[in-house]
Structure 1
Amino acid sequence: MISSLRGEVLEIGLDHAVVEVGGVGFAVQATPGTLAGLRRGEQGRVATALVVREDSLTLFGFADNEERELFGLLQTVSGIGPRIALATLAVLNPDALRRALVDGDLATLTRVPGIGRKGAERLALELRDKVVAPAGAPATLPVADGADPRREQVVEALVGLGFAAKPAEQAVDRVLGDDGSSDTSALLRAALTRLGGKGR
């Protein structure tokens, strides 16, 4: 198993980065928060989890081992695959996720796209005894200020996370209408939250 990568960051997209290790560029799927900690052309390190399927090998990257462990833990619950697990970590930081699980905070858990009320109940029931709640945590990752929004990139990232193109476009358009000044990472988080709200 590839548990981490360290090397030059060749590329950073909305939902992935390419890290060169020993002359080989590894594409790593990651959350906006993890990607925000990387800089193109500089050395970077990500904790990783390799997901093997019959038709694919996909590397998922995380800011630290804590996020990677939560990524794996989420997938022990029926109906939660790697894409939903990654979306969960995109919407909720580790502290907020642990607190929501321990408290049985279904409203917070259903903010994640792909997780409805029943899924949230399963998560809380099965994982509340496997995590320790922090003293306090914000519910979402901090929103970064940056470049102008780029609709096509955000839609492409949402489609890459498993959403149909039309709902993704509608969510992005709504988010752009609410706040057109946010950067692409902030827009992606907002669109994820909006799409998640439709599942409640």
Structure 2
Amino acid sequence: MIASLRGDVVSIGLDHAVIECAGVGYRFLATPATLATLRRGEEARVLTSLVVKEDSMTLFGFSSDDDRAMFHILQTVTGMGAKLAVAALSVFRAADLAAAIVAGEVKTLQTIPGVGKKMAERMALELKDKVAPFAPAESADAPVTPGVAPAGASTVVEQVVEALVGLGFTDKAVRATVSSLVEAQPEAETSVILRSALVELGRRK
């Protein structure tokens, strides 16, 4: 199992990055918050988890032990796969997600794209004890780390739509939402637009 990568950051996308280690480039999927910690051309280290299926092998990257541990715990819920776990961590930090699960906030959990009422209820029921150590003793607001630098409106729309399609949405279902968000927040970072789109799409289920 590939547990971590250390090397030069070759490229950074909205939902993935490539780190070159000993001449080999490793592509991994990650949340906007994790990608925001990387800088192209600089050395970086990311924690990883390799998900192997019959027809694919996908590497996921994380900036902290808590995020990786939460990624694994989320997948113990019946019906929740790796991409849905990443979607959850794209909307919430590990601590905030744990707090919502422990408190049984089903409606809050339903804002995660792909999580309906039944899935949210299963998360609250099956994960309450497992995620309790991640929940903060008291809630505290934390600033959102900026990700990719501002780009032209059309570029931002295309980047965010591409990332959402990678998470399982269809282009048709998300393009109007993303365009509206970019129009309302023309100076926002692409990672902020992605996070807002995930929340907005989650509310529509």
Is the 1:147–1:183 Cα contact (8 Å) retained in structure 2? yes
Cα gap change, 1:104/1:140 in structure 2, threshold over 3 Å: closer, same or farther? farther
Return 5+ residue gaps in structure 1 as ranges.
Answer: none
Separation in 1 of the partners of 2:98 and 2:104? 10
Helix, strand or coil for the counterpart of 1:193? helix
Matched residue, 1:51: 51
Matched residue, 1:14: 14
- Structure 2 residue 173 is matched with structure 1 residue 167: yes
Map 1:104-143 onto structure 2 (within 5 A): 104-132=104-132, 133-137=135-139, 142=144
Task: Give the alignment's Cα RMSD to 1 decimal.
Answer: 1.6
Is the 1:93–1:140 Cα contact (8 Å) retained in structure 2? no
TM-score normalised by the chain length of structure 2:
0.92
Matched residue, 1:178: 184
TM-score normalised by the chain length of structure 1:
0.94
Separation in 1 of the partners of 2:38 and 2:100? 28
Sequence identity, in percent?
50
**Which amino acid is 1:92 matched to?**
F
Cα gap change, 1:115/1:157 in structure 2, threshold over 3 Å: closer, same or farther? same
How big is the shift at 1:177?
2.9
- Structure 2 residue 194 is matched with structure 1 residue 194: no
**Which amino acid is 1:135 matched to?**
A
Return 5+ residue gaps in structure 2 as ranges.
Answer: none
Regions of 4+ moved over 6 Å: none
Helix, strand or coil for the counterpart of 2:27? strand
Matched residue, 2:150: 147
Number of residues of Structure 1 aligned to a counterpart in Structure 2: 199
**Which amino acid is 1:5 matched to?**
L
Helix, strand or coil for the counterpart of 1:180? coil
